[in-house]
Amino acid sequence: MKRYDWGKTRNGEAVTLYELETEVLTVRILNRGATIVDFIVKPLKRNIVLGYDNLQGYEQGDAYLGATVGRVANRIGGAQCEIAGKTYTWQPNNGPNLLHSGDCSLSFAVWHVVPNSEQTGPNYAKLSLATTLRSIDDGFPGDLRVKLQVELIGAELRLTYQYMTSEDSVVNITGHSYFNLNGSDSLPQMNGPMMDAEQGLITNHELQLEASQYLPFGADQIPTGELASVAGTPFDFRIWQSVGEALCQHHAVLTPYRGYDHHYVLQAPTTLQKAHIDCKEVQSHIDTKKAKANSSLQRCGAFRVEDLTLTVLTDAPGFQLYTGNWLTDEGRNGEVYESYSGICIEPQFAPNDINMPAFQESLTKAQAMYERRIVYVVDVLGNV
């Protein structure tokens, strides 16, 4: 396994880039934010994630390119919630909401390598990183300890997050890679938010999602808590369709968000299937789900171009679809990242789920171990 010195953070912490490789993939992970910097499909000589050339880019950028996001990914409505009878508040950073846990996040932490975790073999590579977020720093109850195991197995990248809190708390961890199957290194500069496929945007990608339900928004992009069918809506990707055509066709509906930034449900909380919600049953449901640390993976969906498909699997009950609507950054090799330069499928619990009594799947019990898995599978099409 190769290592590269990537300098020091503003706080003087040393940062290292780790390279894992199989016959099909080369993946580089930065220990600052446990960040996927490169995801290279070797038969195509193509880097399919957005990223920066150096540490300064990651420290200055605000799009969470490739980062591990938490302790609570996505939005907490009103930047406050109640846990175990106590109200917690934070400084809003997304309108009135808290987004991705604010300034003290897993995305900004410098993780360390778990001793004896590095392994390489025929068409296999593994690395584990770990870090701790202190309650005194991020304002959530209890310290959070988290380990990320990164595995390359042939054409698969497997991410396994294991975490524990010292007090009853809330955790919602995900990966925030922006994929562009055209190869991000070939993206030219762009002048507007809706450009054609020849200019390298993800508008030429086709997308298929397994979810038959999504969460409609109320104010400030916070879900109402109701489940809605995707049938007959702009959010129905159960059969393959062009991302660019969907963005154009449903422009009016998507205008407030500039595109897709919506949560899809793979596994609805059982309490939402009942007319009456019993609080004890809610907690029992939560505890049961937490005990299933090794539940089987399910398919979120996939996106594809002419010669490549990427499939995303997880054990999370849902995922966020984001089409890079607010990207405005200079990335790798001077590329200008603008709207639709990359697409994210982020497996996670529902946004603001801590404030929705029928959900609250992100709650943790003190000293209990939890696990979240995300798998990316590459399929190179045709003869290369």
This prediction has a pTM of 0.91
Query: For the domain that residue 29 is a member of, what is the CATH number?
Result: 2.70.98.10
Q: Are the CB atoms for 212 and 232 separated by under 8 Å?
A: no
Assess contact for 284 and 290: CB atoms under 8 A: no
pLDDT at residue 200 in the model:
84
Listed residue (235, 231, 192) closest to 340, CA to CA:
192
What is the pLDDT, as a whole number, of residue 290?
44
Contact status, residue 371 vs residue 293, Cβ threshold 8 Å: yes
The b/e string for 46-77 (b: 16+ C-beta within 10 A; e otherwise) is bbbbbbbeebebbeebebbbbbbbbbbbbbbb
d(CA 292, CA 315): 10
Q: What share of the chain is helix, strand, coil (3-state, %, to 5)?
A: 15, 40, 45
Q: Look at residue 133 and give its three-state secondary structure.
A: strand
Question: Which residues share a beta bridge with 71?
Answer: none
Of 375, 348, 319, which Cα lies nearest the Cα of 152?
A: 375
Give the pLDDT of the chain (384 residues) as one tens digit per residue.
Answer: 899 999 999 999 999 999 999 999 999 999 999 999 999 999 999 999 999 999 999 999 999 999 999 999 999 999 999 999 999 999 999 999 999 999 999 999 999 999 999 999 989 999 999 999 999 999 999 999 999 999 999 999 999 999 999 999 999 999 999 999 999 654 333 333 333 334 589 999 999 999 999 999 999 999 999 999 999 999 999 999 999 999 999 999 999 999 999 999 999 986 664 333 344 444 444 444 443 434 589 999 999 999 999 999 999 999 999 999 999 999 999 999 999 999 999 999 999 999 999 999 999 999 999 999 999 999 998 754
Dist CA 362 CA 318 (whole Å): 12
Q: What's the number of CA atoms in the CB half-sphere (13 Å) around residue 111?
A: 30
Q: What's the domain count of the chain?
A: 1
Q: What is the pLDDT of residue 296?
A: 86
Helix (H, G, I), strand (E, B) or coil at 74: coil
For residue 137, give Cα distances in angstroms to 15, 108, 123, 142, 204.
Answer: 21, 13, 40, 10, 43
pLDDT for res 197: 38
CB atoms within 10 A of CB 157: 23
Mapping DSSP to helix (H, G, I), strand (E, B) and coil, where does residue 337 land?
strand
The 8-class DSSP code of residue 143 comes to -
Query: Rounded to 5 degrees, what are φ and ψ at 19?
Result: -115, 125
pLDDT of residue 272: 62
> Measured between alpha carbons, how far is 324 from 261 in angstroms, rounded to an integer?
8
List the structure tokens of 225. Answer: 């808590």
- For residue 333, what are the domain limits? 2-380
